[in-house]
Amino acid sequence: MTQELTSPSPAPQAPGTGRGPGWWRDAVIYQVYVRSFADSDGDGIGDLRGARERLPYLKDLGVDAVWLTPFYASPQADGGYDVADYRAVDPLFGTLQDADDLIRTAHDLGLRVIVDIVPNHTSDRHPWFQDPELARQRYLFRPGKGESGELPPNDWESVFGGPAWTRTDRGDWYLHLFAPEQPDLNWDNPEVHTEFEAIMRFWLDLGVDGFRVDVAHGMIKAPGLPDIGHGAQAQLIGAQVLPFFDQDGVHAIHRAWRRLLDGYGDALGRQVIGVAEAWAPTAERLALYVRPDELHQAFNFQFLNAPWQADALRSVIDASLAATASVGAPTTWVLSNHDVVRHTTRLGGSLARARAATLLMLALPGSAYLYQGEELGLPEVTDLPDEVRQDPAFFRGGRATGAAGPGTDTESAPDGVATAGGQDGFRDGCRVPLPWSGELPPYGFGPGGSWLPQPADWSGLTVAAQTGDPASTLELYRAALELRRRLPGLGDGAMSWAPAPDGVLAFTRPGLLCTVNTLGHDVGLPAPGTPLLSSAPVTVDDATAQLPGDSCTWWAI
């Protein structure tokens, strides 16, 4: 590590204080799944240099910030969400110098950088877990039940399938809500708190603008680790408070982190944020994570899980806005990420719906998260052969996007939930490396191959193929993001519903009116203004607008 690394590069347009209305309230944040974004060295795995080289693309796309998924030293039992050293870069992804270079380049371009922090569990290769004495204090070990302790201490299931407990050679058991290689930390131990605050300071010193907090609802377990007494726990995740998820005790941790982030921001004259990946049963409980003294944002998975129906979308939007307004936080919106089926496929395999859903999302007040490749309209890859699968849930016989929320059983999942349309509900199909250019795999992803095979028919979906084509999904995203910047107040201003026929949503925002036709056929209505941008060609004749089926239009009013 060079001396330079201790002097963080200035964040773009640094405001004078770490408090007050902030950049994050209406930011569009692009998720870079590092392993699948761009590969600089030809090993078929995306890396930090590859990501840095492609930052101008993201600047040009028009996003405000990037969120990088974990690139820390890790045995990669769960795509890097099993961290062995939180202060080191895994050689697969590069070096600490590469991370520093990436942050500096992003800041030079006016992009902020958010990194993942994984506090619920570490890798089983973490030095704490490797040392039996330390492990006993800092993880959750319990004696087993049964005559000779041969049964797990309680009935909790791993999100990835199977029991949430693994027995050690010594005969006791340790808790892992995810894979056995991801032991849960004991957050009753103050040393765990101290360590995570130190890790955050380490990355803040390097210049990051915030953290995406992995499993932010998981660190605190109910006292006594009580049984759940329900055989299908995957169905309950995100649907109710569980003894291991969404316990009230997690909020004290988020309060402490907010103090740290604000203190840092004040000292450096910039705003650094925390965003919770939290699965809470209601919008109200989710809003608790973004009270003024807690994290800044929380992912809105209720929106992601909403079916493509006008009434359902309207109620989830209303509930989300009301809940966050009650605590003074901005709402966030998200349609895709590395844990769920890409929304092109999830919303019925329809690119038209996916484009419409995106324009709807970008017209809503608050901050939006984009997942790499959605701007290309990439579908989920649903025919990956078993031998290339890497999602640990696949090998555990788990059912699904596990890390994600409710309805992970694809058989019983209602239409439109996170797993609908995927390959057995597992997560590799949304993680296939991006196609950048060319006619054949790896489509410019890197000089070698790609760690998951890309479909043979993606040449028309590459960045190069779509650039400059006004009908392409990429240009639709670019145009929408440009309008978001041009229309002040669109991000964080007011919204009100306007009258609309059944199956159609209409609402006004500063500078525009948005219509969404969720039906599969055209709907005519009095033209509300002049079309500014539409996900599908809209016609206006004699003051009557024909909204194509599954479309969203922004109208200048």
Structure tokens of 302?
């209720």
- The three-point CA angle 304-308-313 to 5° equals 65
- Among residues 215, 216, 319, 512, the one that binds ligand GLC under rule CB under 6 A: 215
- Among residues 37, 81, 139, 289, the one that binds ligand GLC under rule CB under 6 A: 81
Catalytic residue of the set 26, 64, 78, 277: 277
Side-chain-side CA neighbours of residue 332 (13 Å): 28
Least distance from ligand GLC to the Cβ atom of residue 339, Å: 5
Least distance from ligand GLC to the Cβ atom of residue 240, Å: 18
Residues 6 or more apart whose Cβ sits within 8 Å of residue 146: none
339 binds ligand GLC (CB under 6 A): yes
Residue nearest to ligand GLC (CB): 403
Catalytic residue of the set 26, 214, 339, 428: 214
Rounded to whole angstroms, what are the CA distances from 417 to 150, 311, 333, 373, 420? 37, 16, 15, 20, 6
294 binds ligand GLC (CB under 6 A): no
214 binds ligand GLC (CB under 6 A): yes
Its sign, for the CA torsion 454, 457, 461, 462, is positive
Its sign, for the CA torsion 110, 484, 380, 70, is positive
Nearer Cβ to ligand GLC, position 102 or 278?
A: 278
Angle at which helix 351-363 crosses helix 473-486, to 10 degrees, equals: 10
CB 63 within 8 A of CB 26: no
CB atoms within 10 A of CB 102: 27
Nearer Cβ to ligand GLC, position 121 or 193?
A: 121
Q: What binding mask, one character per residue, do residues 523-542 give for ligand GLC by CB under 6 A, x or -?
A: --------------------
Question: Which three-class secondary structure state does DSSP give residue 68?
Answer: strand
- Among residues 32, 403, 465, 547, the one that binds ligand GLC under rule CB under 6 A: 403
Nearer Cβ to ligand GLC, position 157 or 339?
A: 339
Least distance from ligand GLC to the Cβ atom of residue 300, Å: 15
For the question of residue 277 being annotated catalytic, the response is yes
Buried b (16+ CB within 10 A) or exposed e, 516-555: bbbbeeebebebbbebbbbbbebebeeeebbbbbbbbbbb
Least distance from ligand GLC to the Cβ atom of residue 166, Å: 16
245 binds ligand GLC (CB under 6 A): no
Question: Which three-class secondary structure state does DSSP give residue 52?
Answer: helix
- Among residues 33, 139, 174, 178, the one that binds ligand GLC under rule CB under 6 A: 178
Q: Identify the bridge partners of residue 117 per DSSP, sorted by sequence position.
A: 213
Nearer Cβ to ligand GLC, position 23 or 289?
A: 289
Residue 118's H or E segment, with its range, is none
277 binds ligand GLC (CB under 6 A): yes
Nearer Cβ to ligand GLC, position 45 or 552?
A: 45
86 binds ligand GLC (CB under 6 A): no
Least distance from ligand GLC to the Cβ atom of residue 401, Å: 9
Q: Can you give the binding site for ligand GLC, defined by CB under 6 A?
A: 78, 81, 118, 178, 214-215, 277, 338-339, 403
Catalytic positions: 214, 277
